[in-house]
Amino acid sequence: MGQVTIYLDDERERRLRRAAKESGVPVSRWVAALIEEKTRTEWPESVRELAGSWDDFPDAEQLRATQTPDTSREPL
């Protein structure tokens, strides 16, 4: 398991320690969870479960049926 050293000013260290304490986890676990959250490469399961949950949302075919031609672009 790797180790990382970071340098924080006093205010940021105080906020980090408070956030970890309020979460009830050690500082290292709090930082590891933040890194996991910010570097995730997949949608969380809670987001994937939302697929298809809106009955009144139009499907792709309905959206394409109402498309209008795109505006002409200026030449480059």
- Residues 63, 24: Cα–Cα separation, whole Å: 47
Domain assignment present for residue 60? The answer is no
Taking only the tens place, the pLDDT of each residue in 32-74 is 999 999 999 998 889 988 888 888 888 888 888 888 888 888 9
DSSP state of 44: -
The total number of residues written for the chain in this structure? 76
Domain assignment present for residue 75? The answer is no
Range of the domain at 21: 13-38
Residue with tokens 């970071």: 6
Q: Helices in 9-68 by DSSP H: which ranges?
A: 10-23, 27-39, 45-48, 60-65
pLDDT at 25: 98
25 burial class (0-12, 13-18, 19+ CB within 10 angstroms)? middle
Q: How many domains does the chain have?
A: 1
Domain assignment present for residue 73? The answer is no
With a cut of 90, say whether residue 9 has pLDDT above it: yes
Domain assignment present for residue 33? The answer is yes
